[in-house]
Amino acid sequence: MRLVSTCVAVLAATAALGTALPAQAAAPALQIVKIYYDSPGADRRSNDSLNAEYVTLLNTTQKAIDLEGWTLRDKTGYSYAFGPDVILGARKRISIRSGQGGDGTSSVYWGRKQYVWNNDQDTAYVRKADGKLVDSCSYRATRSAYVTC
């Protein structure tokens, strides 16, 4: 009870002074939510192993986003550019897999024959077609093979 009355008093004092409480930062329109940087098993560059390495993005908005020209890249500079006709629906996810495959609504494929994401540490960046940074996520390896951002 004492805590509640203290919070009410702080809010009342803040309002009386005409100052605002800090606002929460809005989530980016396209957010990196997971990086699976260490695919299971030995790193032999098989297509299955390459495709088990991926980044998942989430459209946090209520509208579809046309991703044509948007990019995902790592700290080294490996870059994936979304092609035409990649529309991510409202509140939907898409995974960018490092290997080869047929693009669909839930996964697209980088088409590489080598790994992108370092197993020890790296940073993923998502940029709009005009180059503006939308989101980034850095990690250092832990016992897990992935990081949630």
Tens-digit pLDDT profile for residues 15-71: 444 444 445 567 899 999 999 999 998 889 999 999 999 999 999 999 999 999 999
Say what the pTM is.
0.82
Cα of first residue to Cα of last residue in the chain, in angstroms, is 36
- Domains defined along the chain, listed by start: 30-148 (2.60.40.1260)
Q: How far is CA 119 from CA 64, 85, 100, 147, in A?
A: 33, 32, 20, 11
Contact 54, 95 (CB under 8 A): yes
pLDDT at 18: 46
**DSSP H helix total and E strand total for the chain:** 2, 11
Tens-digit pLDDT profile for residues 98-123: 999 999 999 999 999 999 999 999 99
Interval 121-146 mean pLDDT: 96
* pLDDT of 14 strictly over 80: no
Structure tokens at 35: 């990086």
Give CA–CA dist 54/21, Å, rounded: 38
